[in-house]
Structure formats: C-alpha cells, structure tokens
A and B are shown apart, each in its own frame.
Chain A
Amino acid sequence: MKHARIVFEGATHDATERDGQLLLADGRLVAPDAVTAWLPPLAPTARPRTILALGLNYADHAKELEFKAPEEPLVFIKGESTLTGHRQFTQRPADVQFMHYECELTVVVGRTARHVKRGDAYDFIAGYTVANDYAIRDYLENWYRPNLRVKNRDTCTPLGPWRVDAADVPDPMALALQTTVNGKVTQSGNTKDMIFDVPFLIEYFSSFMTLQPGDLILTGTPDGVVDCRPGDVIVTEIEGVGALHNTILAA
C-alpha cells in the first residue's frame, strides 16, 4: 500500500492510494490535483527522530566527485527543518554557483532496531520513500564534510510523495532510479549499485545506535548531478516507490 500525508480543505490527513486517487480515513476519495499540499509521508511517527544520510554511496558518484569509494559508510545527520513535501518549492540561495539534486531511496524504519544482523534487517523496515537530498556545493568545506551549510538548509530535502509498504517492494536493491530536469533525463541509475546496501546499513547503524520507528535512512545517489536554477522542475523517481516533484525558487 502507498501512504501519503496531505493537506486537503484546510486539514491534515493521512491517506492511502486507491486507483490513482487519495483515500482519506473518513472514506472520501480525493483527486491528486485537489490536494492543497503534500507533506513528507513520515508515519509511523509524526516526526522523525533521526534522519541519517549517506554520502558517496554509489561508486560512480564517488568517482564523479573525484573521491575514491569510501571503505566505511560516510554518514551525516540532518535536522527536521530541512524536510519538505512533494510538489513543494526548494530555495536556491542567491549567488550560489552549484546546487544539485540527489535522488535517493529512503528507508523508513518500522521497529526498534539495535544490534540487528544483516540477515534480519528487512524485518525492521516499515517502507520506502523517495528523497531529493539537495546539496549546495559552494559551501563544501573540509570540516565534517559535507557540513550542514551544504546539506541542512530549509526546504532542501523534499520527501515523498508516498511511503510504500516494505511488502510492496520485493527487492529494494534492484530498483531503477532517475532524475529529470524540466522533463529531460539527467540522472539514471539502479539501487543495485550501492556500495553499502540497505541490509548492511541497518546492521551498521544499529551496531552503535538504536533506530526507532519513523527514523529515516537516505541511501545516497548515483552520478549525473547537474546544477539546478530557479524555475527548474526536478523529478526524482524510483521504480515502484514514486516520482517526487520539486521546483526551484530563487531565495
């Protein structure tokens, strides 16, 4: 099942997808175009406690950025205020030279996870969504790289549109992934090319910290990142999970 969190007629609703429409808890069916706003589909909790993100988790992207592939996960943490939803706007700061999207399969944790072995990892996943983990590369200093000025800006992490139940994604490690800018394909890849796959990441994180339901893991992006300018419409799409639309605004 596909779950969304939307604003409709002035109220926030949890909804599920039915025949291309949104089914509300009160039984009403809403057309996607009638939605006032799509919010990050964060259930099973209203707020994610922890948002973990991977850097350089596809070998081709690591190469593109002139690094050798990492020997252990390169991880950073994001604050909640960077999140926004499907069909929302992301601000490009003034005077920036290079700001790029990153289409990322995102894991939504479903159960408290501590010392989980990779063979059991899928039991701890509630579902998946799509993130667009924008980076503002002008600010990439060599301190806690990538730092929060690059990665933690308001509205710079669109998430959604759906949280798809784990049961509906039989093999998350074989999903086609692509990004279009104004309808033109600029990035295409496959989750099979991750350096550290999803079961590894669950094992890795839960070896030193407890993951809780609703925590998010953004798993990194393949190569093909290009500069995004005000007015550009960016669609980050993952096979079977969803197509996340976002528009760049001048700040």
Chain B
Amino acid sequence: MNLPISGTVYGVLLNFHGEVQALEPQMNQPPYKAAPRAPILYVKPANTWSAHGAAIPVPARVPQVEVGATIAMVMGRDVQAARSSDAIDSVAGYVLMNDLSIPHASFFRPPVKFKCLDGFLGVGPQLRAAAEAGDPAGFALEVHVNGVLKQSLRFADLVRNASQLLADVSAFMTLHAGDVLMLGCGPGRPLAQAGDRIDISAPGFATLSNTLAPEGSAA
C-alpha cells in the first residue's frame, strides 16, 4: 500500500464548534461530569489505513458507518512543547482523511472497537505541501456519498486552530516527524453503508475516494 504517511496517526474529538455545541447539554452530566480541558485524542493504528481508491470492508454486523472527513497535518520534524505562534512551521503538509467509525453515543471510554477496524481510515493520495497550502483556517471540504453532497466543513470553525492544537498536544507528548494529527471531523457526519462510494474533496487537494464493501467480498 502506497501512502503519504508513516508514523502514528492521531485523531481529535470535539474540535469543531458545532460538535461541542451538540454535546454541551451533556457535558456536566455523568459520565463526563465536566467539559474537557485538553484535546481529546485517539489513535488510528496501521491496520485501519486504506489507500485512495481502495474498497473498505464493512462487517455484516455493522449496518452503517459514520464518515469522519477531515484534513490532517503531517509533521515534518519533531514537535515538543511548541508555542502556538510558530507550531505550524513544523507541518510538512496536509492530507485528506476519511476517518470511519461504527456509530457510538458515548465518548467516555476509548472507542477502539468502533474506530479501529481494518481499513477504517481512508488516506488521501497526495500530501499537499504546507508552503503551498497556506493557513489551514482557509481549508474547506465536501463529502459526497454516491455523488450526493452530504457534508460541508469549513476549518475556520475549529475550537483549536491548527497551531493551537499542535501547541496543546505537544505540551504533553512529542509529535515526531512523520506523525499525523487530524484537525477534527465536524458535526453532521454522514452515514454510509456497504456498496456506497464516498468522495472527500477540498480545493487544492487531490480527491479521496473509497467504496464500502461487504467484508469478505473481493476488493
């Protein structure tokens, strides 16, 4: 599999204002009891990575999957305790991602069983160089399922912009060259099922397309 990523891939929850607003009524209730104080991260291990164009297997027990379209930062050098003012300088480039999950309501426990199925992370075909991409706050993307527009995201709506996210994450762990940090997946995530085609497109980026296939069928 030829992918423009190599290191550890980290996703982030609740980094779009719309996601936070949707969950706010529950944030002070059990099991959460308080709003999060730091970025909520998760790992998409290597078994989840799928190339552009690949058919992603969906187990028969899973009627629908949730599409988590996002743009991810790929680190060009090690980042430790970065300042928000210059953290963005350590990004080598950006790549589209299709972060699939089995729908689940609770964010109390790590959702490994819901997020780490084989193939459940589509990775865009190309890295877009940071120098060319400019400020990530200007990014926008669209998700089409079977050619129908299902979601539009503007990365000006982030809770932590790219630099702040890098600063807040690198305050407690090092991101190494080659590691990947997603910017967030946004509210209103589309659902899709086996047989569907998912296209994630963003101005300046090569489109990421994957199909969902029943597990066990030929890719």
Contact = CB atoms under 8 A, between A and B. Distances in A.
Interface of A: 49-50, 52, 74-82, 93, 114, 139, 141-149, 152-154, 208-212
Contacts of A148: 10, 41-42, 172-173
A245 B53 CA distance: 47
Contact of A212 (B33, B41, B46, B108): B46
B36 interface: yes
B172 A49 contact: no
Contact of B43 (A77, A139, A143, A212): A77
A148 B174 CA distance: 12
B195 interface: no
B-side binding surface: helix, strand, loop or mixed? loop
B8 A79 contact: yes
20 contacts: A50-B46, A50-B47, A76-B110, A77-B42, A93-B172, A139-B172, A141-B34, A141-B36, A142-B108, A144-B107, A144-B108, A144-B110, A144-B111, A146-B110, A148-B10, A148-B173, A149-B173, A152-B41, A152-B172, A208-B116
Interface residues of B, number: 37
Given A49-B45, A77-B45, 17 more contacts: A74-B110, A76-B112, A77-B112, A78-B43, A79-B8, A79-B10, A80-B176, A81-B176, A141-B34, A142-B108, A143-B36, A144-B13, A144-B110, A152-B172, A209-B116, A209-B117, A212-B47
B13, B41, B42, B117: residue with the most chain A Cβ atoms closer than 10 Å: B41
Contact of A209 (B47, B109, B172): B47
Contacts of B111: 144
Nearest to A150: B172
B32 A81 contact: no
Contact of B31 (A77, A80, A114, A142): A142
